[in-house]
Structures are given as structure tokens and as C-alpha cells.
Amino acid sequence: MTSALAFTHTVTERFLRYVVIDTQSDPSSPTCPSTAKQKDLGRLLAAELKAMGLADAHLDEHGYVYATIPATSDKKVPVICFCSHMDTSPDCSGTNVKPQIVRNYRGGDIALPGDPAQVIRATDYPELNNQVGNDIITTDGTTLLGADNKAGLAEIMDAAHFLVRNPQIRHGTIKILFTPDEEIGRGVDKVDLKKLGADFAYTMDGETAGTIEDETFSADGATITIEGVSTHPGFAKGKMEHAIKIASAIVERLPKDTCSPETTEGKQGFLHPIGMSGALEQATLSFIVRDFTEAGLKEKEALLESIVKDVMKGFPRSTWRMEVKEQYRNMKQVIDRHPEIVDYAVEAIRRTGLKPVRSSIRGGTDGSRLSFMGLPCPNIFAGEHAFHSRLEWVSRQDMEKAVQTIVHLAIIWEERA
């Protein structure tokens, strides 16, 4: 079966068409999508899907694209969905993206022509060592590339095109979902899961070719509010308790060699201040807390609380409060109830000739929220590297492997039904 599939090489063309459309999202905007320009790409994708013959393809008012590839099998196959996000990160410009293709990469550093200071160094991206002979797509160094997540869009579009063109391939109903505003944490706020009607989903938004990620961080936010004691500074001796100084003392007491983003990796969690504001009388500290387990989160929150209590001992007339809010949870809790979702993905990756690698994400994805909304959704590689930066890159060959993975997944779900 595998050898009978004559895959095409059209994913790169699609990718290059999508990256030049600016779709940067904006966390300060209250609308959905946060930026109207995301709909420019949504309209193009919906039109291309329609042109392929997917009759129900459409962009909705909130900026989501939905489409269905009808089943070619009479078996009762679970409905699976492939999902990618259309927006790019607010951290780096996505205006006027000028891609370059380094054909038949020979190894070594890649200089970006638009800015001499921007060099993709092989020592910083050891994954480049596995790309010798491949075609690598970068920008000119003045913007991000947007492979996160336009590589995923192009791969899903190309796989859809392939399946539609090859009706002899047996598969169940397949759904396509493209979301706005993932980069600002709002990617599934307005998704209509009933309309989508899928049993299981896969985001195509992972890094290295061959990886499948079924674990994300669990995440809380913690806010500490300090009420100090204000007096006129000329008459403050023995009376003033300065809220800004109390807040600074708390930050100063955070662990220095562990428990921070800059000192952890792999399965280690952290406690990370993301905001500080204040005046003499009141100060606020905002933290994000991350770990792969619930117990790990609780431990870090207890550590934070003990630091605050200890610092406050030196300020007996000031008060404090700490508020913890759940943000998202490790999707493994949900995905483990349906082991076939990951098993089939591992098999699909193997059929492309890659070595499957199971991995975890030090962050959240649309998939972590979708999983808890009732649509279990691990994350498959899209081939994107150096996200959210001007050094972003992706290879043509890795994107083609991702297209093949999607097609094989469709086939495997039908085979096993």
C-alpha cells in the first residue's frame, strides 16, 4: 500500500503562498479574530478548499475555517480532524515576509540576506545537521517566517488535495479546522465543536520531523497583592512599609538555580514572574506556574507562598493575598484514555520512513484546550524550527513527510476500524 502512493511535491508552493500574507495576532485587541488581516488568509484557504471540491469549506465570522473531506470507505470509521493555526506570533514582525530557499543545503551556518546580524548557526540549531541535501526555507532576516504554523496549514491543505485526487484511497470522514489567535492563547475560544463533529483531532504544529507530542504543561497563574503602609516621606521613620520594596524582596528570594525558565528543561517545571506593578501603598506581582503534574504545580505554589510569608514577617503592618487561577492542564490526562490516537500516529510516522519520537511540550497548544473540551488532540510535527524569531526555518523535505503522515493516518484509522 505504502509504495503505491505517488506523493506530490506541492506543499512548498502552498507554504510560500501563505507566508507572505501577514496574519500577526494582537493580545491587546478584544475582537475575534484579534486582527482582521487573519481573515485574508482564512478566505484564501476556504476558497482553495472549495476549489478542491470540498463543498462545505467556509470561513466563519470569528475567523475559523472548517471543511470536510467526505469518506471513501463504507466502514464506520471515527471522524478525525487535522488542525493548524493561521496567526503568527506578536513577538516578531510578520509584515512583508520575504522567503528564501537554500537549495541542497551543504551544512554550516545560513546567512540571511536582509540583515547581516541574522545568521542561523548550525551550533545553535543542531537539527540542521540532519538537513544536509535538503531545501531549507528561511526569511531574509527582517521578519519571522511564519512556519509556525503555516507549515501545518500547507501540509493539511496538501494532504487534503492528495486525498481528494486519489479517491481509491480508503478513509473515513476527515475534518479540517484552521484557527485564529493561537499565539495569544485564544485559539479555541470561538470554535464550534458540534459543527466540527470530530471524534479525535491532531494539531500539526510540532517541531522536529518524526515527533508526536501527547503531553503539555499544566498551567496556573498566581497573583500576589501587597498592601503596604503609606506615610508622608518626611515623617515616615518607623512607620512606612513600602509595597514596591516588599514586592522586590519577594522576587529577590525566588530560587536562583532551579525552578525558572532559564534554569530548567525537559520535564522540570518553573515559577516565573511575568508582571510587576505598584506604588508605595500597593503592589502586584503576577506569576505563571508550570509543571507536568498537578502535584508539581501545588509544590511550586506552596514554595511561592512560603517565600511571601517569610518576607512579610519583616513588614508586620502590611497585608498580602495570593490568588491562584487554573489556566490549562496536561492533555495526557485525556489522551491516555484513547491510546490508539497516539499509536496510529506513531505508525503513520513510521510508514513515512521516519523514526517516531514521543515527546512532551513545554507549553500549551490549542490541542491541550481542545482535549479538555472533549476533542482529544495530540500534536504532530510540522517541521518548524526557531519559532517566533527572524531565524525561523523549515525544510521542504520535512513538510513533505508531514503531508505523508497525515495521509497515512487517514489510511490507518480506516484499516483499524
Chain residues in the site for Zn ion (CB under 5 A): 148-149, 205
Residue 48 to residues 18, 153, 317, 387: CA-CA distances in angstroms? 12, 12, 65, 26
Rounded Cα distance, 315 and 43, in Å? 58
Q: How far is the CB of 205 from Zn ion (least distance, A)?
A: 4
| CB proximity list for 217: less than 8 A, separation 6 or greater | 269, 290, 291, 292, 328, 330, 361, 362, 363, 364
- Beta-carbon neighbour count of residue 9 at 10 Å? 12
Place of cell 534554569: 263
Q: How far is the CB of 130 from Zn ion (least distance, A)?
A: 21
Q: How far is the CB of 145 from Zn ion (least distance, A)?
A: 12
User: What length does the chain have?
Assistant: 417
- Residue 369 in grid coordinates: 484546550
Place of cell 548557526: 121
Catalytic position from the list 182, 207, 392, 414: 182
Q: How far is the CB of 149 from Zn ion (least distance, A)?
A: 4
Looking at the Cβ atoms of 138 and 149, the one nearer to Zn ion is 149
Is residue 182 among the annotated active site residues?
Answer: yes
DSSP state of 376: -
Catalytic position from the list 22, 48, 87, 207: 87
Looking at the Cβ atoms of 148 and 301, the one nearer to Zn ion is 148
Looking at the Cβ atoms of 68 and 368, the one nearer to Zn ion is 368
Looking at the Cβ atoms of 148 and 214, the one nearer to Zn ion is 148
- Residue 50 in grid coordinates: 472549495
Rounded Cα distance, 322 and 314, in Å? 18
Is residue 301 among the annotated active site residues?
Answer: no
Looking at the Cβ atoms of 127 and 281, the one nearer to Zn ion is 127
Task: Tell me, rounded to whole angstroms, the distance of Cα 296 from its chain centroid.
Answer: 22
DSSP state of 78: P
Q: How far is the CB of 157 from Zn ion (least distance, A)?
A: 16
Q: Which residues are catalytic?
A: 87, 182
